[in-house]
Amino acid sequence: IKITGTLPYIRYKGVFHMVLLTGENLHLEEMRSILCKNKKIDLDTEALARVQKSREAVERIVSEGRTVYGINTGFGKFSDVSIDEEDVHALQLHLIRSHACGIGEPFEERVSRAMVVLRLNALLKGFSGIRVDVLKRLAYMVNHSIHPVIPSQGSLGASGDLAPLSHLAIVLVGEGFVWKDGEQVAAKQVWDDHGLDPLVLEAKEGLALINGTQAMTAQGVINWLEAETLAYQSEWIAAMTMEALHGITDAFHPAVHQARGYVEQVDVARRMLEWLEGSQLVTKQGEKRVQDAYSLRCIPQIHGASWQVLGYVKEKLEIEMNAATDNPLIFEDGEVIISGGNFHGQPIAFAMDFLKLSVAELANVSERRIERLVNPQLNEGLPPFLSPQPGLQSGAMILQYAAASLVSENKTLAHPASVDSIPSSANQEDHVSMGTIGARHAGMMIQNARRVLAIEAFCALQGSEYRGKNKMSPSLQEKWDEYRSFTPSMDEDRVFSTDIERISAHMKKETGKAVYSSKVSITV
């Protein structure tokens, strides 16, 4: 196979059927293929050799009777309690059983799948002392869609995501539950169905499986993939609103944005002009008015700033996805074993809190555009509330209420989780990140923001229809046709929540479509 050009991030094995995990270079586009397209994985042989060396070091420590935290000691405040050699197996089982105390609704199945992939990738770095057989079983789970049922609440984000990851680990020993066709089934039954025995965890393996940041990072990966898609979608939706309101395109002139210098702002302005190319509905300065309100005029500045946040979050996630986050870590063939704090989720906690601000602002400015579309004092002659019979029919009046409710809810969820900390383990673990809470709240905010943008899309579709579909830009006519295929025109009042949920669901599905930054030519 000859490849010319650049294919960002994606490195498949063979004929592009598998993603090769090395512990070193997993990226978000590969995660998109694993999570959204159900791509299978394979394990790098060099990485497995590192894992084997690390495991041999653990076995030497046990046989020599050396006392090392996590191998033959208790955990947390019990780290000074020595464990006899004959009890090291029981120690690992007791660990994951006692720590599997997650509560609340389970993470969605994609998050569970991401957790397995990310924990596996971290262990492939070869610093954790786990057996190759355990990693192969994790890979089997990914490739056969055996996804643990993992409660979403109960993690402090240090010492890592102990409770969520314990629900992952306990599946390996035949306890707990996994997803099957949307239902929860016993893990032991699934292993029986596959003709496999549950694993018996050996020294350090339980700790290696649960001491890490993979719950917050997995939810963070899903958040980023969905937020990136939403940010792109917000641009065509805003462009359609521009058409419905006879927006002024001069504000998107490249010179304006190059004068400020933010690459993301320049890119948003360019894409807005691309969406509006050929439109007969947008205007120039002075044709109808001199300037637009900020929610239209400042789209590149506002959306561009959100893209800057997405860039920061992407960088931190891709570091964490390839990080050794358990404790202790084994170096130099077991000669150096260090108890550190890589399990502390502060970097991802900050990233998720930052992501929340980015998503909140996409929704906030969208709600302001919705108001302009429905308000007869602001909508440039469109029917009041886009109603087919103003007065007799309320039209989109309450859709703006719903959007206002969602953005207000987002403002409460946007409070940073990372500024909180509660000591645990008898004050041994006296500062924690709350990163998993931040990641969960970011996910909730993305769902809210998507629905706000779905409401704007619904109103923009109707507003553009009033103006004349044949006058829309060719690109936006295609979007109009796509969404009208499942969202009828507003000919009369109806239960509009159905329309919003359909649009939102359609938008969410587009998360699986990778956006590439360069052209690729592949010759077979």
Task: Please tell me the distance from the alpha carbon of residue 173 to that of residue 364, in angstroms, as a whole number.
Answer: 47
Angle between helices 299-320 and 263-276 (to 10 degrees): 120
pLDDT band at 156 (very low <50, low <70, confident <90, very high): very high
Q: CB of 115 within 8 A of CB of 40?
A: no
Q: How many CB atoms lie within 10 A of CB 84?
A: 10
Label the pairing between strands 336-338 and 329-331. antiparallel
Q: Which position has the token pair 């997803």?
A: 179
Tokens of 120: 């596996």
pLDDT at residue 31 above 50? yes
pLDDT at residue 6 above 50? no
Tokens of 9: 């991030």
HEC-encoded secondary structure of 115-181: HHHHHHHHHCCCCCCCCHHHHHHHHHHHHCCCEECCEEECCCCCCCCHHHHHHHHHHHCCCCEEEEC
Amino acid at 453: L
pLDDT at residue 412 above 70? yes
SS3 359: helix
pLDDT above 90 coverage of the chain, percent: 84
Amino acid at 346: Q
- Nearest Cα neighbor of 392 from 401, 400, 383 is 383
Q: How many CB atoms lie within 10 A of CB 317?
A: 25
Q: What mean pLDDT do residues 97-107 have? A: 97
Helices and strands, counts by H and E, the chain: 18, 12
Cis upstream peptide for 151 (omega within 30°): no
Query: Diameter of the chain by CA atoms?
Result: 86
Q: What mean pLDDT do residues 165-180 have? A: 98
Q: For the purposes of burial, counting CB atoms within 10 Å of the CB of 333, is it exposed (0-12), middle (13-18) or buried (19 or more)?
A: exposed
Amino acid at 484: R
Q: Which residue has the higher pLDDT, 302 or 522?
A: 302
Q: Which pLDDT belongs to residue 68?
A: 82
Q: Which pLDDT belongs to residue 83?
A: 72
Amino acid at 160: G
Task: Please tell me the distance from the alpha carbon of residue 251 to that of residue 234, in angstroms, as a whole number.
Answer: 17
Tokens of 245: 């309101």
Task: Please tell me the distance from the alpha carbon of residue 45 to that of residue 421, in angstroms, as a whole number.
Answer: 41
Q: Which position has the token pair 């058409």?
A: 243
pLDDT band at 78 (very low <50, low <70, confident <90, very high): confident
Q: How many CB atoms lie within 10 A of CB 67?
A: 11
Chain centre to alpha carbon of residue 70: 31
Q: How many CB atoms lie within 10 A of CB 158?
A: 25
Q: How many CB atoms lie within 10 A of CB 45?
A: 9
- Nearest Cα neighbor of 384 from 400, 407, 367, 368 is 400
pLDDT band at 11 (very low <50, low <70, confident <90, very high): very low
SS3 262: coil
Q: Where are the beta strands (DSSP E) in 16-154?
A: 18-21, 40-43, 103-106, 147-148, 151-153
pLDDT band at 427 (very low <50, low <70, confident <90, very high): confident
Q: Which pLDDT belongs to residue 1?
A: 43
pLDDT at residue 221 above 80? yes
Tokens of 512: 């699986």
For the segment 440-471, what is each residue's pLDDT rounded down to a tens digit? 999 999 999 999 999 999 999 999 999 999 99
Enumerate residues 6+ apart whose C-beta is below 8 A from 85.
62, 65, 72
The residues that are catalytic are 69
Q: Which pLDDT belongs to residue 112?
A: 98
Please spell the DSSP secondary structure of 462-498, one letter per residue.
HHHHHH-GGGS-HHHHHHHHHHHTTS---SS---HHH
SS3 520: strand
Q: Which residue has the higher pLDDT, 340 or 520?
A: 340
pLDDT at residue 503 above 50? yes
Task: Please tell me the distance from the alpha carbon of residue 297 to that of residue 93, in angstroms, as a whole number.
Answer: 60
Q: What mean pLDDT do residues 201-224 have? A: 96
Q: Which pLDDT belongs to residue 514?
A: 58
pTM equals 0.93
- Nearest Cα neighbor of 458 from 420, 426, 484, 432 is 484
SS3 224: helix
Q: What mean pLDDT do residues 353-381 have? A: 98
